[in-house]
Amino acid sequence: MTNVGYSAQTLRVLVVEDEPYTREELTEFLADTAEVSEILAAESGEAAVRLLGGGAFDAVFLDISMPGLDGMDVARVISMLSTPPAIVFVTASDSHAIEAFGIGAVDYLLKPIRPERLAESVARIARLRRATTEAPPADELAVVQIEHSRRTIFVRRDDIQFAEAHGDYVRLHTADGTHLIRLSLSYLEDVWAPAGFVRVHRGYLVAVGWVHDLRVTSSAGLVACTPAGDVPVSRRHARGLKERLIEAARNGQLGRAAK
């Protein structure tokens, strides 16, 4: 199935689902998204591996529970490809979420599939693909230039402890204060991910190296504590943040405030 209007910025997608109704529904939802140009479908893990060996894909929407090769098996095959596509798991249970993100999944969708939730995944994949194909410099926005009425302020990315969505702007929090910049939080999430910034809430990114502890409060629930202030952590992102903090601690990447 192919959408008209193919361009270099659209996505070639593989759907892997053993249930015919869900496979057809997912294919139809994807066909309605502007970012997707071509969709192939596989009814099993074995069929998916054959298709993956025959051509490149930008994304694979992958059921986990399938007879024979299940979704996790297929994901491990994908991880060995020279240019692996983005993986989005589509499943009826959240019990595999930790393992899925450990494999490197971009997203994890629960059945029944909601079109708006699927559209979020597609948009994220498209952003990641643009960031890769347009090849921004590895140090892009290592220094943020902020224009005021009669002066320009330069803020080092490494001094930014967390970023907060603020309407059409993002508020950057440092030890010396805050600064507003007209960028989207999603863009900063993609560009700054290699520098250790992670999404912890719909409206917040935090620099893992600046987090000195996690705390449960009566007003905000779980928060990540940084010298510049406390950052709310949503339930959806809590486990992922904890895993990143453990990894950073093992690698000696925590404790910037003490250095």
Q: Is the pTM of this model over 0.75?
A: no
The mean per-residue pLDDT over the stretch 82-96 comes to 86
Counting runs of H as helices and runs of E as strands, what totals does the chain give? 7, 15
Closest residue by Cα to residue 74 from 107, 52, 106, 96: 52
pLDDT at 2 over 60: no
Task: Tell me the domains of the chain and their CATH numbers.
Answer: 11-133 (3.40.50.2300), 143-254 (2.40.50.1020)
CA triplet 210, 214, 220: central angle to 5 degrees?
110
| Percent of the chain surpassing pLDDT 90 | 54
pLDDT at 118: 93
pLDDT at 134: 56
The mean per-residue pLDDT over the stretch 214-243 comes to 92
pLDDT at 128: 79
Reported in sequence order, the residue ranges of the chain that DSSP labels E, i.e. its strands, are: 11-16, 36-42, 59-63, 86-91, 107-110, 143-147, 152-156, 160-166, 169-174, 177-181, 197-201, 204-207, 213-217, 221-226, 229-232
- The residue written with tokens 């499943």 in the block is 91
pLDDT at 211: 94
Beta-strand relationship, 197-201 and 204-207: antiparallel
- Greater confidence (241 vs 168) lies with 241
- Greater confidence (170 vs 138) lies with 170
- The residue written with tokens 């090849």 in the block is 135
Closest residue by Cα to residue 164 from 147, 178, 148: 178
Beta-strand relationship, 229-232 and 221-226: antiparallel
pLDDT digits (tens, 9 = 90+) for 39-61: 999 999 999 999 998 889 999 99
CA triplet 231, 246, 77: central angle to 5 degrees?
110
- Greater confidence (258 vs 120) lies with 120
Lowest mean pLDDT among 18-27, 226-235, 239-248: 239-248
The sign of the dihedral angle between the CA atoms of 177, 179, 185, 191 is negative
pLDDT at 7: 38
- Residues 51 and 40: beta-carbon distance below 8 Å: yes
pLDDT at 131: 64
pLDDT digits (tens, 9 = 90+) for 108-160: 888 999 999 999 899 889 887 776 665 445 566 788 888 766 778 899 999 99
Structure tokens at 205: 């990114």
pLDDT band at 172 (very low <50, low <70, confident <90, very high): very high
Partnered with residue 108 across adjacent β-strands are 89
- Greater confidence (7 vs 26) lies with 26
- Greater confidence (167 vs 118) lies with 118
pLDDT band at 5 (very low <50, low <70, confident <90, very high): very low
| Percent of the chain surpassing pLDDT 70 | 86
The sign of the dihedral angle between the CA atoms of 115, 120, 123, 125 is negative
